[in-house]
Structure 1
């Protein structure tokens, strides 16, 4: 039943320390961050840290809402967060197909939401359109937005270490610099 869905939290690792990352999936700096997550978990140790991704929509990334809803939709399917990860990886790998040039122009201006979903399904291998159509899926999208706002998040990526924003942590840092914060 559509009213019995559950969005799997976007959390990897099971350690006591927590790195929360607020990211907009089509943002180039968020893509740099996303591409470092596996390496970070490996170096820091999945038994030492947890990484939680919060999806943070930014209106200048014009497909942001569609892509975020698709990621959340994927997390409701069997396989949960692993499906969401596949969709985020597809966006990261094919970022140019999910953004406008200069945030306002280019070939993607003629792209429809259905075409975005089809690209996400093709690249990720996750059949997510039916889940995308869950009528109240936005309650999970709103939960991500509310948590971001409650924590004063304005841009992506933003990093929180054990509940405190770390303004010195950035997408351009080497993974080893991230790991140092968790020793």
Structure 2
């Protein structure tokens, strides 16, 4: 699946430096949800252990794309991914760093930890996480906050500054039928052999076998 330029930050940043040399790269897409423990497990392995391997051996042959995957049975999933969309809009180069910190603190956004706060209060905590990786916290919050006043057309359902981006992400995921997280696609085909428990050694073996 193509990567819209507005979501360019979803590509693993270290690979951006070699973008000019890329001809026909392999594309590894990882569909992750910020409030899914299994997504956190896969992200941490890729970001902390597999990333150096990719940069060293496959930088000119592989793109790794973080596809944001909302799972609406956890209401805070939408809110966390809206924060990710805000970071993509304001500072795409910080998206993976922001995601790393959010996954580290994901339990703070599990159902039991958000049920008694308002949506805008949750946004304030998410904006603070963006601020911790040097993204402008107030600008993130400005994109996320939902007004309690009618819009200019008296609408009461106007969303926020990233609603349209979230719609695009959800539509793209629905088109290919991704349901659970994490889900992995390689060159447009679901790679069911890869799961959240894949170790760095297993990733190395898989990459050696599949990246020409």
TM category (shorter chain) comes to 0.7 to 0.9
SS at 1:70 equivalent? helix
In the other structure, the counterpart of 1:64 is 77
Post-superposition Cα deviations, 1:132-180, rounded to whole Å, max 9, x if no partner, equal 3595622221222122112221100000111110111011110222233
2: CA distance, partners of 1:112 / 1:150 = 32
Contact 2:35 2:77 in 1 (8 A): yes
In the other structure, the counterpart of 2:142 is 130
Contact 1:8 1:76 in 2 (8 A): no
In the other structure, the counterpart of 1:44 is 54
In the other structure, the counterpart of 1:22 is 31
Contact 2:107 2:113 in 1 (8 A): no
Higher share of residues assigned helix? 2
In the other structure, the counterpart of 1:150 is 175
**Structure 1: tracts of 5 or more residues without a match:** 1-5, 101-105
2: CA distance, partners of 1:135 / 1:110 = 21
Counterpart of 1:89 (choices 96, 100, 107) is 100
Structure possessing the higher radius of gyration over alpha carbons: 2
Contact 2:31 2:66 in 1 (8 A): yes
> After alignment, is 126-135 or 88-97 more displaced?
126-135
2: CA distance, partners of 1:165 / 1:61 = 24
Corresponding position: 1:175 with 2:200? yes
Corresponding position: 1:10 with 2:4? no
SS at 1:110 equivalent? coil
RMSD: 2.1
Contact 1:91 1:98 in 2 (8 A): no
1:7 CA displacement: 4.5
Contact 1:90 1:120 in 2 (8 A): no
2: CA distance, partners of 1:8 / 1:131 = 19
1:116 CA displacement: 1.6
In the other structure, the counterpart of 2:149 is none
